[in-house]
Amino acid sequence: MTASLHRCLALVGTLLLFAAGPPAVTAQLPGTSSTSDTTDKDAPYVPTAPSVVTRMLEVADVSADDVVYDLGSGDGRIPIAAAEQFGARAFGVEIDSALVAKARAGAREAGVEDRVTIRQGDLFNVDLSDATVVTLYLWPEINIKLRPKLLRQLDPGDRIVSHDFRMGEWEPDRVVDAGEGNTGEETIYLWIVPETVPDDLMDISDEGLK
């Protein structure tokens, strides 16, 4: 069984646990449930452990000079951490209105609303040309579908960091063990946008997607 399949099964198990209703002690966020998702989402909402959030931003070498975009930003924990811990400007894109409201409230509570913007919308439609770092926690097939957009809109040297899931045939520049998270032992993948993008990375048709 591949590592990606292990991660998918672990994530599905977590979702089933959430859907069944949390026990007395749970990793589920207060005020969230399976009903916070909408049928239009490209990936279900599963919160990333705070330690993994920080490690993702460290692996991407985020600094105050960066503009971080989190696609499928959930409750905003990655954009908020990017601003609060690393001094970056950060944008979250999330389709679920309840999570957008939660993220905006979280930014206010953390005192970083001047550096964090949370937008409601489809992650495939957002303009990433301002971004220097993009963070992802999406299904593998969504990562693959995003790959041409990322390579078109980002500049050479920009970084993409993904929690648990790869980006198809694009080999990561770095793979980091993130330790224990909400779905077991977790992994972080880092890609750096190359100066010259190989044609095969722009063509996802041979990976079963169009």
Who wins on pLDDT, 20 or 101?
Answer: 101
The predicted structure's pLDDT at residue 11: 47
The domain total for the chain is 1
20 part of a folded domain: no
The contacts of residue 26 (CB under 8 Å, 6+ apart) are none
Print the domain residue range for 156.
3-8+41-196
* Count of positions (residues) in the chain: 210
72 part of a folded domain: yes
15 part of a folded domain: no
171 part of a folded domain: yes
Displacement of CA 153 from its chain's centroid (Å) = 17
Token pair of 190, please? 């880092």
The predicted structure's pLDDT at residue 176: 96
32 part of a folded domain: no
Q: How confident is the model at residue 17 (pLDDT cuts 50, 70, 90)?
A: very low
The single residue listed with the structure tokens 């593998």 is: 140
180 part of a folded domain: yes
101 part of a folded domain: yes
22-45 tens-digit pLDDT: 332 222 222 333 333 333 555 677
What percentage of the chain reaches a pLDDT higher than 90?
70
Say if pTM beats, i.e. exceeds, 0.75. yes
CATH of residue 77's domain is 3.40.50.150
The predicted structure's pLDDT at residue 206: 81
53-94 tens-digit pLDDT: 999 999 999 999 999 999 999 999 999 999 999 999 999 999
The predicted structure's pLDDT at residue 104: 98
Which residue type, as a one-letter code, is found at position 49?
A
34 part of a folded domain: no
Predicted confidence (pLDDT) at residue 118 exceeds the cutoff of 70: yes
Mean pLDDT of 145-160: 97
CB 134 within 8 A of CB 150: yes
157-179 tens-digit pLDDT: 999 999 999 999 999 999 999 87
Q: What are phi and psi of 187, to 5 degrees?
A: -130, 145
